[in-house]
Structure 1
Amino acid sequence: MGQENEIQELKDRLNAVEQELQQRSRGVKALRTGLIIILVIFLLMTLIGIIQFVSSG
């Protein structure tokens, strides 16, 4: 019985750790997506500024 209890405890711990890792990966994904959106907007604004500068000259 003691060995079965230990195995069940290990399974429970493993499940808890897996759930924690999944939650962290979601946060990293959201952060990465946010940074990509900001970078794209910055590059787009820079491109628009360069086009305006060249066309006015």
Structure 2
Amino acid sequence: MEKTVKIEEYNPDWVSEFHQEKARIMEVLKNDSLCVEHIGSTSVMGLGGKIKM
């Protein structure tokens, strides 16, 4: 099944969405050494991100 990739303009809400997802990931992994720095192409401030549709 083919998916379409759309470039969506930068959304400042992505910063808080990242922190929420990071907290969920860290909670699941508990004490494992892990550093979550970014998730996908939405990590660069001001840059559009790829959205799979």
Question: Into which bin does the TM-score normalised by the smaller protein fall?
Answer: 0.3 to 0.5
Question: What TM-score comes out, normalization by structure 1 length?
Answer: 0.34
**Which structure is higher in strand share?**
2
Higher relative contact order (CA 8 A, sep 6+): 2
Instruction: Report which of the two structures shows the higher radius of gyration computed on alpha carbons.
Output: 1
Q: TM-score, normalization: structure 2?
A: 0.36
